[in-house]
């Protein structure tokens, strides 16, 4: 519990810092004017888009769990939404622990397989953001520091993925080979870390499955295209549909990278400032950019929380029970 409180306090401080930075140049008369003048009818198709994206995420996650027949697509969809709900109300991405636990109760590989599929899902998302950023480079004049940072981060992600795929071909022998050196490092060489690495290697076998890989890659592309379309639809409510579609994609890249930072539940402040930086590249003023990003962020969270609550009700689960189990499982992980 102490560890959870420290994470929460640290995340809140980071969020407050970024929120203050976001508000620094906002002119409140322009901010309220943009909110009053917004065409909120665009939020209806935006809600449909985010709903469909959640189904695609569920489809991809089910494939990453080796298309386990014990889990129907409908249940995976509910688990995805429950996970997003907990991500928005608990710190440290606790929703990932929750949905891994929910799926792990049912699938043959238990929590280990579910957790490894979530790690691979997160890695695929990082790779999608990196690829999207590379595609945008010819169309956007990015600051040199941002371009260098994105490319370095992207190269590390791609390189790490290649190494993990190669190791997965060797199975337990690959893990034992790596552990000759990693096992000597304090804390990192913990037995639980090795177990997690073994599960990860088992999960990576999915990416070498020719039957499942096309669906996984197509699902990943559709997820991120859907998110960019969602951004563009919400931006249209504030008259920003005159901007090229690349602006919505750049907002997606900026907020995607920003979500890596530790912050409060829902990434308040961090999300808004990252999106404002992206919109500034297209000449959008700080007041309009802040109102757009604030509505985009709040609306996304409201939809995902609502879907999560429906998922909890349909699964007959309680918030308190899952919260306690998620915290207990996090506390059981090796301390770093």
Q: Tens digit of pLDDT per residue, the chain (336 long)?
A: 555 666 667 777 888 888 898 889 899 999 999 999 999 999 999 999 999 999 999 999 999 988 888 889 999 999 999 999 988 877 667 788 888 889 888 887 777 778 888 888 988 898 888 888 888 888 887 777 667 776 777 777 777 777 777 777 776 677 777 777 777 676 666 666 777 677 667 667 777 788 888 999 999 999 999 999 999 999 999 999 999 999 999 999 999 888 777 666 778 888 999 999 999 999 999 999 999 999 999 999 999 999 999 999 998 888 777 777 665 665 555 444
Strand spans (E) along the chain: none
pLDDT at res. 304: 94
Q: Say what the pTM is.
A: 0.86
DSSP state of 85: H
Task: Give domain limits for the chain.
Answer: 2-66+74-332
pLDDT at res. 243: 95
pLDDT at res. 49: 97
State residue 106 phi and psi, 5-degree precision.
-115, -45
pLDDT at res. 245: 95
Q: Report in angstroms the alpha-carbon separations of 290 from 80, 276, 294.
A: 28, 6, 6
| CA atoms of 172 and 188, how far apart (whole Å) | 18
Encoded tokens for 320? 């308190």
Are the C-beta atoms of 235 and 246 separated by less than 8 Å? no
Closest CA to 224 of 247, 256, 266: 256
Are the C-beta atoms of 218 and 124 separated by less than 8 Å? no
Encoded tokens for 120? 């691979």
């Amino acid at each position: 519990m102490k560890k959870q409180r420290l994470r929460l306090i640290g995340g809140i401080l980071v969020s407050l810092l970024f929120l203050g930075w976001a508000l620094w140049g906002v002119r409140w008369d322009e901010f309220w004017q943009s909110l009053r003048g917004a065409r909120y009818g665009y939020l209806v198709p935006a809600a449909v888009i985010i709903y469909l994206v959640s189904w695609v995420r569920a489809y991809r996650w089910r494939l990453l769990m080796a298309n386990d027949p014990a889990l129907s697509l409908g249940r995976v969809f509910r688990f995805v939404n429950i996970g997003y709900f907990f991500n928005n109300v608990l710190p440290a991405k606790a929703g990932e622990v929750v949905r891994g636990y929910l799926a792990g109760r049912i699938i043959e590989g238990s929590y280990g397989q579910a957790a490894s599929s979530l790690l691979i899902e997160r890695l695929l998302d990082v790779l999608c953001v990196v690829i999207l950023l590379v595609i945008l480079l010819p169309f956007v004049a990015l600051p040199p520091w941002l371009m260098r940072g994105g490319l370095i981060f992207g190269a590390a992600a791609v390189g790490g993925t290649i190494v993990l795929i190669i190791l997965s071909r060797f199975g337990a022998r690959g893990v034992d080979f790596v552990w000759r050196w990693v096992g000597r490092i304090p804390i990192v060489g913990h037995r639980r870390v090795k177990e997690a690495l073994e599960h990860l290697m088992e999960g990576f076998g999915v990416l070498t499955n020719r039957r499942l890989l096309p669906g996984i890659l197509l699902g990943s592309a559709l997820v991120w295209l859907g998110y960019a379309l969602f951004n563009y639809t919400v931006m249209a409510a504030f008259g920003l549909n005159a901007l090229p579609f690349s602006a919505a994609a750049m907002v997606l890249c900026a907020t995607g990278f920003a979500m890596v930072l530790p912050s409060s539940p829902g990434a308040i402040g961090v999300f808004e400032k990252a999106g404002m930086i992206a919109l500034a590249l297209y000449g959008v003023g700080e007041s309009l950019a802040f109102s757009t990003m604030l509505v985009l962020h709040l609306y996304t969270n409201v939809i995902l929380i609502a879907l999560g609550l429906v998922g909890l009700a349909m699964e007959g689960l309680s918030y308190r029970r899952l919260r306690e189990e998620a915290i207990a499982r996090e506390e059981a992980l090796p301390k770093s």
